Structures are given as structure tokens and as C-alpha cells.
């Protein structure tokens, strides 16, 4: 069958393109489709594929090309990595039941941040607040709300391509997810990396959507419990960095408190930085 004929059959279904080894008009390297692995599957014979993953590390040029074409082929490219498991066995995909993208639409960054902030700061009648005011400074137990948008210091796509090259190594693989934007992949992949922090990822995806819009953030790499973003409009002023750090604390509290010790210390780390990296216990 000619590619033009195949294209006519698959343009409405990005996953159908992946089944025949193409992303849009581009032939893909060797790879495989990964399916849901959660216990929700039960007796179902075919849970259906969630994404495609390459068998070898991709080239930076291929990733850049696929990123440029994602708006037309409906496939979001990123690096998938798993340091301890065999590719295809876990690889961050389908470990918990995936959610529809429509679930992300139900959340707004303000309510996600406020709900998590309140939960993290809950007062125990015997032990007192879970976090002391020193670690939360310049904030307190009341959620400050989202930070203002940043000023673009670089083209978001160009920066994403540049930083992707630094993240490529023998453990990374190309992932292609049927989603129009990187923020949604946590939800549609059934990612379980933040399971000890939140039970479902739609709220985190909503925060990522807002970061895409306010800070020119782009999802670069996803691992079992890690996430790397490029940031084209990072905070450069001290007060702005603190406000962004407060958001990051609600997104990944382990990264902020265990690595930096406080929101204020973490704010200095991310001030002007063009890459944000998160991890969860």
C-alpha cells in the first residue's frame, strides 16, 4: 500500500499511524506499542495501546522534527526512561488506570494548588502543622495562589530542542503519545510516579498546562518517578521565584523540601533556570 493511501486511512487516528510504523509522513525506527498494565484490566483481552516507544535512543534531530509536526499528526514526542526496570515492563506507562483527557479540563490551577496546599498543611491535633512556618516562608499555611506569568527569554520550542540533546543517553527512548500537548501525558499514560502524593494525575496535568502557558514550559523527559521540563519564561526576580516555588511545592513536595529544605531556598535554585526537574518518593 502506498504511503498516501495509508495516510488517508490514519489521519484521524494517530495510534493507527504508529501501528504501521509512521508518525505523520515520517517513518519511525524500530519500536513497540505499550498498553495499560493496571489491575483494572481484569479479564479484558486487549486494553489497547497507550503510546509507542522506540527500542533504541532517538536522535535529537528526530525529536525536534516530531515536535515540530506534533500539531498536525496528533502525537506528542518525549523521552521515556526507566533506570531500574526493563523497557515495556513498567516504563511509567499504564501502571495505574489512564484517565480521559477530559478530566484535565475539569481542573484549574488555582483549585489544584489550594487543595494540595491545604492537605499538606493540615493540622494534627497532637503533632501540630505538618510543615513549620520557617520551611514555608515567605508564605504560611494559607495558599498564596498561582504566580504571575514569566517573560519569555527564549523560543519555547527551540529551547526544548536544545535541552533535549542534554538529556539523551543510553537509558532514554523516544515516546510518542496520542495527545495534543505534553501536559496531558501524565494523565493519558496512566503514570504512577506521583502516586504517594496524589491518587490521580489530572490535577497535575492542569498545573502543567498552566505552566506551558505562563512559563513556556515543555515536557522533555518522563521516568517512573521523575519529570523534566524546559522553561522559556522562568522567574528572574526573587519575589516571583518564591511564588513559582510555592507552586512547585504543591506539585512535587518531596523535590522541594527534601532537596532544598524550604520554599525560599528552592526559589533561589530555580531563579532564572531554564529547566525544572521534579521527583517524588
Q: State pLDDT tens for residues 18-55.
A: 888 888 878 999 998 888 776 555 555 566 788 999 99
Residue 123 within any structural domain of the chain: no
Residue 117 within any structural domain of the chain: no
Domain total in the chain: 1
Residue 231 within any structural domain of the chain: yes
pTM: 0.89
Residue 130 within any structural domain of the chain: no
The chain-wide mean pLDDT, for the chain, equals: 87
Q: State pLDDT tens for residues 196-213.
A: 899 899 999 999 999 999
Residue 58 within any structural domain of the chain: yes
CA distance 140 to 244: 15
On the 0-12 / 13-18 / 19+ scale of CB atoms within 10 A, 253 is buried
Residue 68 within any structural domain of the chain: yes
The percentage of the chain sitting over the pLDDT mark of 90, rounded to a whole number, equals: 66
The parent domain of residue 204 ranges over 30-39+46-107+142-279
Residue 16 within any structural domain of the chain: no
CA distance 193 to 210: 20
Residue 21 within any structural domain of the chain: no
Amino acid at each position: 500500500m502506498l504511503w498516501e493511501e495509508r495516510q488517508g486511512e490514519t489521519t484521524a487516528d494517530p495510534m493507527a499511524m504508529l501501528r504501521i510504523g509512521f508518525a505523520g509522513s515520517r517513518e519511525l525506527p524500530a519500536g513497540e506499542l505499550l498498553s495499560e498494565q493496571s489491575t483494572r484490566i481484569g479479564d479484558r483481552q486487549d486494553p489497547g495501546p497507550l503510546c509507542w516507544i522506540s527500542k533504541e535512543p532517538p536522535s535529537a534531530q528526530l525529536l525536534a522534527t516530531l515536535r515540530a509536526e506534533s500539531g498536525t499528526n496528533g502525537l506528542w514526542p518525549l523521552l521515556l526512561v526507566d533506570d531500574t526496570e526493563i523497557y515495556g515492563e513498567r516504563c511509567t506507562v499504564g501502571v495505574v488506570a489512564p484517565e480521559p483527557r477530559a478530566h484535565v479540563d475539569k481542573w484549574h490551577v488555582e483549585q489544584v494548588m489550594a487543595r494540595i496546599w491545604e492537605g499538606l498543611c493540615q493540622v494534627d491535633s497532637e503533632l501540630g502543622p505538618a510543615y513549620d512556618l520557617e520551611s514555608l516562608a515567605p508564605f504560611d499555611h494559607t495558599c498564596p495562589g498561582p504566580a504571575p506569568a514569566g517573560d519569555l527569554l527564549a523560543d519555547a520550542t527551540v529551547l526544548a530542542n536544545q535541552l533535549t540533546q542534554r538529556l539523551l543517553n543510553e537509558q532514554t527512548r523516544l515516546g510518542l503519545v496520542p495527545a495534543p500537548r505534553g501536559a496531558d501525558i501524565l494523565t493519558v499514560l496512566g503514570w504512577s510516579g506521583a502516586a504517594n502524593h496524589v491518587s490521580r494525575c489530572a490535577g497535575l496535568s492542569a498545573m502543567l498546562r498552566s505552566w506551558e502557558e505562563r512559563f513556556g514550559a515543555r515536557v522533555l523527559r518522563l521516568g517512573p518517578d521523575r519529570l523534566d521540563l524546559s522553561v522559556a519564561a522562568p522567574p528572574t526576580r526573587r519575589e516571583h521565584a518564591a511564588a513559582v516555588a510555592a507552586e512547585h511545592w504543591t506539585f512535587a513536595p518531596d523535590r522541594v523540601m527534601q532537596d532544598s529544605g524550604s520554599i525560599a531556598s528552592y526559589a533561589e535554585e530555580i531563579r532564572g533556570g531554564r529547566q525544572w526537574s521534579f521527583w517524588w518518593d
